[in-house]
Structure 1
């Protein structure tokens, strides 16, 4: 099995959430070493990866979220009030990686923070928002073939899900129509990255988040991952 790789931009937020959960669930604000932080995860993570993720957060997001004490050889970290505020605001934002991880637990770590995670930072979203260049798709390429096949399976699963149809008929109609418009562009036009994200990946992520632990959600999640892999080829 290939070694799991992570995007430190997303992993840094999950590390912050783990420290937050440790702090909120305890009786004292004990500073944590890198080894202590690694112990908060069920999946083994390297100390270098944890350190790089924390440093990325301090440089790219905010240095105020985690308090750091000691020397570089023996840093200890504890969550600061601004970090608590950030985590709790992200928990309220249901499409955030922190919220998704809190709902789905350790088994979702690769989906939330893996290299092909559909969750993007603000910087990544701005990059896509600015990119309206039509993509010259090679529809014989394996990445495209797998993405189209997974997308068709997802649309079929969503259309056939009786619970979704009965409980949220208007939302279902909007999701299905958006996905059908998106796959039409994907198959016959020259869509942009922005279109693929908004018309395909976004509604699939909504399904995966709102119908967790269902077959439909798993199929939608797979399709989103395949589409993200396709975008990564450009």
Structure 2
């Protein structure tokens, strides 16, 4: 379970977040510039909130009162960036294995083959990112993230660059992936049609004077 209650001061507004997500998909929806990516970056450790706390399971990731701020690599969180952040000079195989540490060669090979098969990308193992379609790049990004066995998955606008047909297919794949891994997913989007992915949906809303943006719960499945 993820508990995230924090405040982050940004140049144009103050972002207030209060989220609770168990083994479900939580969707954060709002326009560009409303702080959605900042929420993910604070949870992952790429940014530091000004106050509050973030707890994943029994682990305190951030607490202003206890002066705790774990670095990203100690948080056990997978993060799929909007542009996927694949290394252009590495093959699909080497991209996926990039974050795998402390495993013997044979175990690495076993884990690689397992994740390639799960995402149906075994035939792409020796290709480079430039040779992949948008949907294939997304699958590689997910495989690279999930091979590390995170306790939480963050997805930043995962379907934003897709055409309608591909978006529909990948929405189904994300739902199926969530069932398989059984961990919390937090997905941000500016598109209302992606809200159907969520077991819970929160919306970024400005207060009356525009000085604060609050992530407010708006619906559940």
TM-score normalized with structure 1 length: 0.30
Q: Which has the higher strand share?
A: 2
- Which structure has the larger Rg? 1
Structure number with greater CO (CA < 8 Å, separation at least 6) is: 2
